[in-house]
Amino acid sequence: EKFDLQGKVEDSDIFSRVAKLRKEFKSTSKTRYYKEMVQEGRPVEELYENNPPGVHDDKWKWLVERWGTPQVVVKESRKKVRYAHTAGNIGYAALNAQFAKKEGREPLLLEQFRFQHFRKDGSDKLSSEAIEQVYVRNK
């Protein structure tokens, strides 16, 4: 339906849609066929045998091995970060430069912590109660 609005189909629209569907499929497959079994402590041989319908055995084995590598495990542990910053894709150096331009000096460490954890609504409030407590404790 999306592609038939004006009789024109853009390649970028098709590629975007396919990429989104692929990502959803991988995510669902990982949750249903991999994570649950890993949490149950199943051996890797059982993981290899539990591949989703439509996924070739060799491709599934590759995914299971990839998801078990230290780099992927570290990436997933980032989700457990207690005080994640709310600056989005703006790097710390850019945030510090913005502060320095505005204030005419480099920010102190506590100031850096504060502006890296503001709420996304643009207010001067910190993003969570836990972050507020850390800030007040170190003030």
Number of domains forming the structure of the chain: 2
Residues 16 and 65 in one domain: yes
For every residue of 39-65, DSSP letters joined together read HTT--HHHHHH-PPTT--HHHHHHHHH
19 inside domain: yes
Residues 29 and 57 in one domain: yes
The per-residue pLDDT for 16 is 85
131 inside domain: yes
Helix or strand run (H / E) with residue 92: helix 92-103
* pTM of the shown model: 0.42
Please state the rounded mean pLDDT for residues 63-88. 68
- Torsion sign over Cα 99, 100, 104, 108: positive
- Domain span at residue 69 reads 11-78
The per-residue pLDDT for 66 is 82
